């Protein structure tokens, strides 16, 4: 179990002509990542806040250190802990305008989407990171963090779910993905575009978020102590189905298939999918292409026969769920949470359609 060190900071002095009450209170919850990974020792939450020039013009900055590790080292139990902590802050401190969470960029989009589904507040939660570390020429972490605080302090950011802010751009946690291993403009929303931008004069939003999230979410992690196992298996030419069978045998409650094109499998994977559903595993089909929607199968008398019929019963055939337009890693997050509420594939399909 991790240890949470809470460090409350007094807001930086404000210009005499600006009353403190006019500037929103925003708190940083730091988890680590490249943004903190200075040579010789990681930056603390306090040091990150002090690195932002001019923050006093936009927000009264507070901070706490949740953990300080690479994003790939965060556990699912810690995901639950972060979500519970953010919910606690909003529940116990009505004066908070918003929250900023730092994360390593490698798995930032997964954590952000998990928070998008589990933080039950209309107030902004902004996840930020950096591609360069503090010891590197051109480190952009302080700029990204300042942008994150500005978005979290903006009334326009309310009711838009969890937001990801890097490189002066605002993206929805649901849709954003890391598209390049090293470039600064890596976080993009393919097909749909950014939600908004952080410009010198103000925070500007160009569109809204229509899928269910945050305060409208049905997922409540307050009583959860663990998340069900869900694995991701990729489709590739001549793939053997043994990995799917192994996941089912190892106790996976759900399997996400990163399929070729609009849902194709290869090799013996189709047979292995049938094996998994016979064991009660929910199988969600997504696409490995990076964009596009996997639609639920048509129902009714005029619908074509199921592609996976084979030896499956109608109940087993219904255990396949279409992942809609979610990336495989996002589908895994949603399926884990869906399985904490229901094992009914029809209800899980509803969840994938609504979120």
CATH code of the domain in which 284 resides: 3.40.50.40
Are 90 and 196 contained in the same domain? Answer: yes
pLDDT of residue 2: 42
Q: Total structural domains in the chain?
A: 2
- What percentage of the chain reaches a pLDDT higher than 70? 90
Give per-residue pLDDT as tens, 293-337: 999 986 544 444 455 556 678 778 878 999 999 999 999 999 999
10: in domain: no
258: in domain: yes
Are 148 and 69 contained in the same domain? Answer: yes
Give per-residue pLDDT as tens, 75-134: 999 999 999 999 999 999 999 999 999 999 999 999 999 999 999 999 999 999 999 999
> Which of 191, 216, 241 is the endpoint of a domain?
216
Are 196 and 265 contained in the same domain? Answer: no
**CA nearest to 275, candidates 231, 320, 305:** 320
224: in domain: no
- Choosing from 34, 102, 107, 118, which is the catalytic residue? 34
- Is residue 154 over pLDDT 80? yes
pLDDT of residue 318: 78
> Which of 175, 193, 216 is the endpoint of a domain?
216
145: in domain: yes
3: in domain: no
Average pLDDT over all residues of the chain? 92
> Which of 165, 181, 216 is the endpoint of a domain?
216
Are 120 and 184 contained in the same domain? Answer: yes
Are 200 and 275 contained in the same domain? Answer: no
321: in domain: yes
Is residue 189 annotated as part of the catalytic site, yes or no?
Answer: no
Q: Which residues are within 8 A (CB) of 4 and not within 5 positions of it... i.e. 6 or more apart?
A: 64, 65, 66, 67, 81, 85
Are 40 and 129 contained in the same domain? Answer: yes
**Structural domain range at position 137:** 20-216
């Amino acid at each position: 179990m991790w240890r949470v060190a809470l460090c409350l900071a007094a807001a930086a002095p404000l210009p005499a002509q600006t009353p403190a009450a006019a500037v929103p209170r925003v708190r940083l919850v730091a988890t680590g990542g490249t943004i903190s990974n200075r040579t010789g020792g990681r930056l603390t939450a306090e040091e990150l806040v002090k690195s932002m020039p001019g923050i006093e013009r936009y927000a009264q900055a507070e901070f706490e250190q949740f953990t300080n590790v690479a994003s790939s080292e965060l556990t699912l139990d810690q995901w639950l802990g972060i979500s519970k902590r953010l919910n606690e802050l909003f529940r116990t401190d009505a004066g908070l305008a918003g929250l900023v969470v730092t994360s390593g960029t490698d798995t930032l989009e997964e954590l952000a989407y998990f928070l998008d589904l589990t933080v039950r507040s209309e107030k902004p939660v902004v996840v930020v990171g950096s591609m360069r570390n503090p010891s590197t020429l051109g480190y952009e972490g302080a700029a990204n963090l300042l942008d994150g605080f500005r978005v979290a302090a903006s009334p326009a950011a309310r009711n838009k779910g969890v937001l990801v802010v890097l490189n002066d751009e605002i993206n929805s946690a649901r849709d954003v993905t890391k598209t390049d291993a090293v470039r600064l403009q890596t976080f993009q929303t393919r097909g749909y575009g950014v939600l908004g931008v952080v410009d010198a004069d103000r925070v500007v939003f160009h569109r809204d978020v229509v899928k269910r999230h945050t305060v409208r979410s049905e997922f409540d992690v307050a009583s959860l102590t663990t998340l069900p196992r869900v694995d991701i298996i990729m489709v590739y030419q001549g793939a053997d189905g043994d990995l799917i069978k192994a996941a089912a045998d190892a106790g996976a409650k759900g399997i996400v298939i990163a399929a070729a094109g609009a849902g194709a499998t290869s090799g013996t994977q189709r047979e292995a999918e049938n094996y998994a559903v016979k064991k009660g595993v929910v199988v969600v089909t997504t696409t490995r292409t990076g964009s596009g929607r996997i639609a639920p199968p048509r129902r009714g008398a005029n619908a074509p026969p199921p592609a996976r019929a084979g030896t499956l019963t109608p109940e087993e055939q219904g255990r396949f769920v279409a992942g809609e337009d979610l990336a495989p890693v996002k589908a895994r997050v949603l399926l884990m949470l869906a399985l904490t509420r229901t094992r009914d594939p029809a209800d899980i399909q509803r969840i994938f359609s609504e979120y």
